[in-house]
């Protein structure tokens, strides 16, 4: 299945919607390189949010796309890597030196703590861990506070079950 590639200004956006065969990955590489050349693109965003698994061939191919497009003057950012996929990549010894990524995180903070301080600390720790484990260069970390834990709230694992 062909991966749709959209052009937004000088940036190409390739959104992988389903698992890819090796043939699909090779076609994606050809399509990206063709469009980078045709449009003189300065950046490529590859969205892998829909991928629950990423084998070594796909990983190597994405890294290859990033390196080839850099030679054409475009930077590649891979977005949407699922935590399970990142963990598997680390376990398999795959790395993405010189490839950039952006991360989205949701956190819960304790009532009374300075959210900006917590967010800054989380951001620094996540960047250090992801870069150390995967070799990806983290260029952006978006942090959303999804809840504030009040002092009288029990931890979920300690809470009594609602149904008995």
Q: Read off the pLDDT of residues 49-70 as tens digits, 9 standing for 90 and up.
A: 888 888 888 888 988 998 999 9
Whole-number average pLDDT of the chain: 85
The answer to whether 43 and 70 have CB atoms below 8 angstroms apart is: no
Question: Which pLDDT belongs to residue 86?
Answer: 75
Q: Give me the residues of the chain with pLDDT under 50, please.
A: 163-164
Residue 94 tokens read as 């795959």
Show the domain range for 137: 5-149
In the chain, the number of structural domains is 1
Whether 157 is in a domain gets the answer no
Which CATH number characterizes residue 97's domain?
Answer: 3.30.750.24
Question: Which pLDDT belongs to residue 155?
Answer: 62
7 strand-pairing partners: 12
């Amino acid at each position: 299945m062909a991966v749709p590639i959209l052009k937004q200004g000088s940036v190409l956006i390739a959104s992988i919607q389903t698992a890819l065969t090796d043939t699909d990955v090779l076609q994606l590489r050809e399509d990206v390189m063709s469009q980078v050349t045709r449009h003189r693109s300065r950046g490529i965003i590859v969205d892998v949010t829909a991928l629950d698994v990423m084998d070594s061939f796909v990983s190597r191919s994405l890294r290859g796309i990033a390196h080839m497009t850099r030679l054409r003057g475009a930077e590649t950012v891979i977005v949407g890597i699922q935590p399970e996929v990142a963990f598997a990549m680390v376990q398999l010894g795959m790395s993405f030196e010189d490839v950039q990524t952006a991360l989205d995180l949701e956190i819960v903070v304790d009532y009374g703590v300075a959210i900006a301080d917590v967010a800054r600390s989380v951001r620094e720790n996540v960047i250090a861990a992801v870069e150390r484990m995967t070799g990806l260069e983290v260029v952006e970390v978006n942090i959303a506070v999804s809840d504030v834990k009040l002092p009288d709230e029990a931890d979920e694992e300690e809470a009594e079950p609602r149904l008995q």
